[in-house]
Chains A and B, each alone.
Chain A
């Protein structure tokens, strides 16, 4: 038995193991090196963690859209990141006049509600529209065509927004109340981070309740489990799919506004990178698995925020912050290669395989 196993250990396995060992080695050596050097104090680490949670909560919201659509349609909605962008743009055109008139400064709650509402309406409508026009005809098509069509939709949305609103990077309003920070145990907690994380948790909780408790949510889970059977039970699959896109689009719109408030800018390509990363987060949590997507999002945000300094500074790489995307993409690829069922989604994925 042992001899046979050795014989089957071919070059491919060696490379894959080398990859695993290499990544683990970089992580371990880097972490140890960084901690020994001790160049960063507790406050700096706290900042990294706080930012990781903030950006992670945004990724989590985006990842929900991927995971729900994949669960129901088995389609990677490549354009989902661009739906995020549409939300950010819609929010911008509300936030700007509100900021100029001082309303955003004086009435944060009402202003944020208005911004989020408009963003959600726009992103949801666009998500539903893309489903109707571009994805529905491919409902029963297998192979590469749906994904290629989704790539086309992504391009189309980006370039449409570029054409309508210009290609320049627009800066988002930056009200005073967002810039201030709470002081907890000697750490600075930026208010915007608290706002983003808190609201994201609330919205995601709401979504979870909708999916678990309402009739439509139950129907959605039924279609995700077995579309044919659900249709035979009298569930209107088209309605369920539209509902899925509504939920995903709404989450994406909120995430877009938050993302823009965190980075203080909008432009037409802004959705691409967070979209891909959030897809990674969805896979990380086991695609089709809603709590998994949330956890995956937070995990990815953390790794991306803390990782460059923790892993790379220790092995003497200059300007590790530039390699933030490298870490996120490496995590994405590692997950796709080694854990395509995700960290949580084992039972779920097995059933579908």
Chain B
């Protein structure tokens, strides 16, 4: 029991050391959550110690785990003060040392780390054992404070135009540098209260209507989300517009890859190729530079680009029809890389512009109105996404969608049931490519230029990561995944270089803890649930957690 708690603590502490060694901890330390009181980096450390505590049972064990979490950090500090580690590990700087010891020197710092860890671990274990009521107040409160603190610049920007009560409230919670202590308390209390009240109303309603209308509720929620999406760029200005635009493009691609991976089970790591085809076709059809083949208006070029992407998708799918599972992932990745190598080479340079790319792609216009700024392009993306989402939604419930799901679950059985595998697979590649082609086409006009370096394998992995985080085969999951994985890192610019570290960790953690994603599709949830029930029957045996296929 004690050994387990200590080991858990040490593991979480090792996580903290990792954060410190890669430099993300110090970067987080530069951002206040509450001015002069708590930085994001300190919050991360507290969260790690608290998390270690939450995984144990009983207050003593919780405190022990939390204190143990401090041990690796202390060991790091000791090593740093003995050896000049930062000549090799660039992140282990003097600033980091000061951050970890709170600037009070090694001995006092060690006491603070271990003691603080123990307290955080204690709080963690108490919270994990507390009642619903307490948790419903504390978690939303804490999350709201973090959001309000971390995004203070953006929120202040949005609020700055207001006078009167809103302005007074703004001045109450924010100082020039960020969230003030009184503001943090106010937000915490407010969020906790709201959460309690809404939780109460929610339960009352659930009791009153035994079987409430899921469908209608979901429509309402989707409607609200859409409304927010429409209004947000108006409030947030062009920066928010730009971020949302990128999110929109990834939603488009995510829906496309979702058809391939989520529904048909074809793990495609060369997805970026379709995006590139869409972008390059639009460039070649519309650009003002010498590389252009034609000078079509954007609205004519877009459908052509999408069709070309579909054609490439089918061509791409044809040779790998017989390749399955893991091999398919590698084969498609190879195909994607081939596309990139060709585009970059001198061989294709006369047609595609080589490493310099193609410039002078015009912005689309409606009548005399040019969709020049990010916000208007965002609305274009939004419309495209909405259309695509409708198509994807209809596909999911169509005969073809069922065929894909059968294919995903068992290729041989699907074939035995009379599903035309060739047709189903090629349609998956082709339709998936259509979405990516559309995204690529919009991407080209957004940047007004295309370069081969924009079409790295990383894009395929980004898209894959976002549908995994959202939930494979789930449309709202794609939206959620894009917001979390694309929107959030864009807003947290200074952590930009750690974004792929985060992706890697997210992929591992999601696969281990929540393979169905944050917002799983109904079918997938039911499947996993059924497995949970059967597992519960033989609890105690070496139960394997349910995984999607």
Using a CB–CB distance below 8 Å, which chain A residues touch chain B? 10-12, 15-16, 19, 76, 93, 134, 137-138, 140-149, 151-160, 162-167, 276, 279-280, 283, 317-319, 322-323, 325-326, 329-330, 332-333, 336-337, 340
Contact = CB atoms under 8 A, between A and B. Distances in A.
Given A283-B327, A322-B346, A163 B24 contact: yes
A8 to B, nearest CB: 12
Given A283-B327, A318-B346, A322-B344, A134 B508 contact: yes
Interface string B335-349: 101100110111100
* Secondary structure of the B contact surface, majority rule: helix
Contact of A154 (B347, B422, B504): B504
A147 B326 contact: yes
Contacts of B90: 164-166
Nearest to A74: B326
A155 B507 contact: yes
A155 B461 contact: yes
A249 to B, nearest CB: 18
Given A317-B347, A337-B323, A149 B503 contact: no
B500 A158 contact: yes
Contacts of A323: 341-342, 345, 347
A148 B507 CA distance: 7
| Most chain A beta carbons < 10 A, residue from B89, B338, B544 | B338
A329 B341 CA distance: 10
B331 interface: yes
B506 interface: yes
A332 to B, nearest CB: 5
B387 interface: no
9 contacts: A144-B548, A148-B464, A149-B507, A149-B512, A156-B505, A279-B330, A322-B344, A323-B342, A337-B320
Contacts of A163: 21-24, 91, 497-498, 501
A144 B504 contact: no
A332 B322 CA distance: 15
Interface of B: 18, 21-24, 88-91, 261, 265, 267, 318-323, 325-327, 329-331, 333-335, 337-338, 341-342, 344-347, 422, 461, 464, 468, 497-498, 500-501, 503-508, 511-512, 515, 544-545, 547-549
Nearest to A161: B22
Given A155-B500, A163-B21, A333 B508 contact: no
B468 A148 contact: yes
A266 to B, nearest CB: 13
B318 A319 contact: no
A319 B342 CA distance: 12
B508 A153 contact: yes
A148 B511 contact: yes
Given A76-B330, A143-B549, A12 B511 contact: no
B511 A145 contact: yes
B508 A152 contact: yes
A279 B329 CA distance: 12
B338 A329 contact: yes
A146 B549 CA distance: 10
Contacts of B319: 15-16, 19, 333, 337
Contacts, number: 167
Contact of B341 (A140, A167, A325): A325
A164 B331 contact: no
Nearest to A76: B326
Contacts of A326: 338, 341-342, 345
Contact of A329 (B24, B326, B337, B422): B337
Contact of B503 (A10, A155, A166, A336): A155
A76 B329 CA distance: 10
B342 to A, nearest CB: 7
B323 to A, nearest CB: 5
A336 B323 contact: yes
A331 to B, nearest CB: 9
Most buried by B among A15, A93, A148, A326: A148
Given A144-B265, A336-B330, A155 B501 contact: yes
B505 A145 contact: no
Given A323-B345, A330-B338, A145 B22 contact: no
A47 to B, nearest CB: 22
A144 B267 contact: yes
B347 A159 contact: no
Given A11-B318, A142-B547, A153-B504, 6 more contacts: A151-B464, A163-B501, A276-B333, A326-B338, A333-B331, A337-B319
Ranked nearest first, the 6 interchain pairs of A and B with the lowest CB-CB distance are A163-B22, A152-B507, A155-B504, A156-B504, A159-B501, A143-B549
A135 to B, nearest CB: 10
A102 B501 CA distance: 37
A66 B318 CA distance: 27
Given A145-B547, A279-B330, A152 B511 contact: yes
Contacts of A167: 497
Nearest to B24: A163
Contacts of A280: 330, 334
B503 A152 contact: yes
